[in-house]
Amino acid sequence: MPESFFNKVYEVTRRIPRGRVTSYGAIAAFIGSPQAGRMVGWALNKSSSQTVFVPAHRVVNRNGLLTGKIHFPNYNTMKELLESEGIVIENDIIKDFELFFWQPE
């Protein structure tokens, strides 16, 4: 299969270590289109139809806000997944987001 935009999104997202998070913009920038963060979210949305597991819950917006939660089965699914990895969520926002932030390399 060809190296498409969202194919790279899956690849990068799967590299996110357990208990760490990153932002849509960081992934988009790593791929080469810093302004195409929307596409990242869109790709992750379709990730549920992929055969491989993609930790989409580890990707949030630049403020650490769980904007993607609305695309999970339940509004608290994303929060619970992150908390189960040791990340503290406060009002749908990741506490100490900078400390948990993971930059693609």
- Residues engaged in binding DNA (CB under 7 A): 4-6, 23-25, 28, 33-42, 44-45, 47-48, 56-57, 59, 61-63, 67-68, 70-72, 78
CA 103 to chain centre: 12
Q: Are 60 and 16 in contact (CB under 8 A)?
A: no
Which is nearest to 58 in space by CA: 25, 24, 91?
Answer: 24
Q: Smallest distance, Å, CB 9 to DNA?
A: 9
Task: Give the nearer residue to DNA in terms of CB position, either 50 or 95.
Answer: 50
Q: Smallest distance, Å, CB 12 to DNA?
A: 14
Q: Smallest distance, Å, CB 91 to DNA?
A: 14
CA 24 to chain centre: 6
